[in-house]
Structure 1
């Protein structure tokens, strides 16, 4: 029996957690749904990730207002995906920050990604009528920039390609805490459809080099303590390797995408089938891994039509 497309069958509301992972640093998590982060400075607040819609962003704002009444002055977007950025208008933040590469990807594929993800995640896009349009940054940077919220410094950095070509992280050095976006996940499948498998492990090691006291991942629980942070880095690296290597072996010998799918499932199902959005991500991950193994460096743009065609070929 064919599986229901992507996350169309997942209409159950998730339980939200709001966890302090360092002094005045908070992780908004929801059982494998996209996470957001909150950094409270002396006189202002920075939010990491905008959620998919203004309605969902409102839930983040509600949590923020339980711990501070300081104004939200900065919204940082780790990459361009619709479920991360289209709720931006709710925050009314005067400063919206992305990497230069992420902004370029909004221009290149933002509209197609919105239409694609709208079809994949109907629950997350409830209330989509209030989205005013694509989200554009007011500020971009290359490899690094620092933002000061009073005396509190937040370092925004590109540490390597991974989930997309434009991923950035936010590091708060006074507490040695990092908000990683979807470079790191915890007991949630990595979405690799726009990823760079060969770069991703080194990017994880760049994050590990900070010897972090806590991580707010892109999906999954907040990770407090070095043991949990390193465990999440290990699990993410294993997911990436376990996905790519069996697919690459099939691709380089001239095997079919369906053969690559079977090879990937044989390795990944025993390890990861219980992870959030695993069945959703797997076809997109296999398709991208197959392309990368054939030397296609820039991920092909996903459209609503391409999504359905690929899903039918693999999950159908």
Structure 2
């Protein structure tokens, strides 16, 4: 039976839960919970203190005896860790690469941009995208346990496996596998219902991460953004990444700009995806890899996102 895609805590296995936030667009991320008796492990906090408090209140209401002793941050984007401060007694775990990114990705630049209103066009777009969120009371709270490769944790007697698959979406992406329940939390290695954002790349690394997921014995897959799905949606997402990479390599060879390339992208089979403007950023990420000089910068491309409208939408 499909897990309903509505805001709140949803049980997806006997003692494993997903906290979902439709519609899954910018900043509206998912989280997860693994419970054994009175001990729990939380997969990611949310973008703001208020949103994280709302989630923790839902956990307390549904599972009043559960104490969150461990938090796993799947990567360094703020919508997956800026609520960490509400769990001061928990150990916080992330990959070494993610932890390094987190120390350079606190809310202060966002707050400064929001306060100034953004004189740069790219910053103005950030201001508009994140206007619904209040970051003023965020105190960056960093991991105190880091790892490379793989790490096995416990939630009570239950095994939770962490698998580092970055760089892909970001430098330090981690999958959280609950083998006993055949559940996987992907962080932003999987977007469902919308175009992803390639911050780091390479896209080939992201494709390999999808292959890792498809090789795991899992039934329920909780994406970083979007509804709970199964492996067919992961295969479809991998197809998207393959098309994106091949298209960007071809348009780069032809001398197209990232915007021109995004306008020429073949949307067939992906017409339903929200946030099509992200194509400009994703093609730009492939171009940065091919150019090797950091160009075109992501912030410079953001004002061009609004120019992308697939046919029929």
How high is the TM-score relative to the length of structure 2?
Answer: 0.82
Question: What's 2:137 paired with?
Answer: 130
**How far apart are residue 63 of structure 1 and its match?**
1.9
Contact 2:262 2:283 in 1 (8 A): yes
Residue by residue over 1:68-94, the C-alpha shift from the partner in whole angstroms, topping out at 9 and shown as x without a partner, is 121111111100001111111123342
Q: Is the 8 A contact 1:155 1:172 kept in 2?
A: yes
Matched, 1:166 2:187: no
Q: Work out whether residues 147 and 153 of structure 1, in 8 Å CA contact, stay in contact via their aligned partners in 2.
A: yes
For 2:86, the equivalent position in structure 1 comes to 90
| Offset at residue 120 of structure 1 (A) | 5.3
Matched, 1:311 2:312: no
- Counterpart position of 1:46: 41
Q: Could you tell me whether the CA contact under 8 Å between 1:160 and 1:202 is conserved in 2?
A: no
The equivalent position to 2:17 in structure 1, one of 26, 29, 35, is 26
Change (3 A) 1:256 1:275: closer
Deviation at 1:215, TM superposition (A): 1.0
Q: CA 1:260/1:276 → structure 2, altered by over 3 Å: closer, same or farther?
A: closer
| Equivalenced residues, count | 286
Which of structures 1 and 2 has the larger relative contact order (alpha carbons within 8 angstroms, sep 6+)? 1
C-alpha root-mean-square deviation of aligned residues, in Å?
2.5
Normalising by the residue count of structure 1, what TM-score does the alignment of the two structures yield?
0.81
Matched, 1:58 2:65: no
Q: Which ranges of structure 1 fall in alignment gaps of 5 or more residues?
A: 1-13, 224-228
The secondary structure found in structure 1 opposite 2:180 is coil
Tell me which residue corresponds to 2:256: 255
1: distance between equivalents of 2:55 and 2:255?
Answer: 47
Q: Is the 8 A contact 2:8 2:58 kept in 1?
A: no
- CA-to-partner distance for each residue in 1:111-145, whole Å, 9 max, x for gaps? 6875669625325523x21112x331111011111
Change (3 A) 1:114 1:97: farther
In the superposition, relative to structure 1, how do residues 184 and 312 fare at CA in structure 2: closer, same or farther (>3 Å)? closer
Maintained 8 Å contact 1:145/1:155: yes
